Amino acid sequence: MSVLLAAVLGYVLGAIPFGLLIGRLTRGIDLRDHGSQRTGATNALRTLGPRAATAVLLLDVGKGVAAVLLARALFAGDSLVEWSAASAGFASIVGHNWSAFIRFTGGRGAATSTGALGAMSPWTLVVLIPIVAVVVWRTRYVSLGSIIGALLAPVITGLLWRIDLASVPAIAYALAAAALVVGAHADNIARLRAGTERRIGQKGREAADVAS
């Protein structure tokens, strides 16, 4: 029961559409009418500018962190507390990508999944963030960095588990989150293969390579 309740909590937190709210507050626009039509930080950057995008990024990351930490606090005495935390983290990505508050639209889950991963297995992020940063810096594809990060997260978490720096629920979370994030980037993957994906700073039509 705690795992299920944690999932409900995580979904509700993840479904808060910060990108849409900030777009309306700062520019009076709906992010879903612009660029990639996603509510994440990269579309916010292209549509609203760096200050608003930074706020969206931090808030979306915070949703994942909050979901995991609240689940741990609420079910602290439960033997399945870490599985509850993993469930809440996973559900926060589902909520972010398919928010019931905005007709089951949303983002791609990269930022929210990163926040939950940091709460589940902080050492994974210590290893992962530099790798993703180099990928994005060298290629200027945000989407490629997000995809590679999602795929590497369960591998790195599994290796850390072997040296007692991560847990089995964290591995399960990372695997499930990778499936969601990579699946949400299906159109980006098609554009990357076709050579039509937009790079950071590239001018042109608004077919964004949004990662979050």
Q: Where are the domains of the chain?
A: 2-194
Distance (Å, rounded) from C-alpha 8 to C-alpha 177?
16
8 A C-beta contact, residue 94 and residue 63 = no
Extract the tokens encoding 198.
Answer: 């937009």
Q: What is the pLDDT of residues 24-45, one digit of tens each?
A: 999 999 999 998 899 999 899 9
CB of 82 closer than 8 Å to CB of 167: yes
Asked whether 114 and 26 are in contact (CB, 8 A), the reply is no
Tokens for 168, please give them.
């089995």
Please report which confidence band the pLDDT of residue 199 belongs to, taking 50, 70 and 90 as the band edges. confident
- What pLDDT does residue 203 have? 57
Name the helix (H) or strand (E) containing 161. Answer: helix 142-162
What is the model's pTM?
Answer: 0.92
pLDDT of residue 128: 97
pLDDT tens-digit series, residues 66-109:
999 999 999 998 899 999 999 999 999 999 999 999 999 999 99
**Three-state secondary structure call for residue 36:** coil
Q: What is the pLDDT of residue 210?
A: 36
The residue with greater pLDDT, 212 or 15, is 15
C-alpha to C-alpha distance for 40 and 111, rounded to whole angstroms: 8
Measure the CA–CA gap between 96 and 11, rounded to whole angstroms: 8
For residue 167, is it left (φ>0), alpha (ψ between -120 and 50) or beta? beta
Model pLDDT for residues 137-161, shown as the tens digit of each residue: 999 999 999 999 999 999 999 999 9
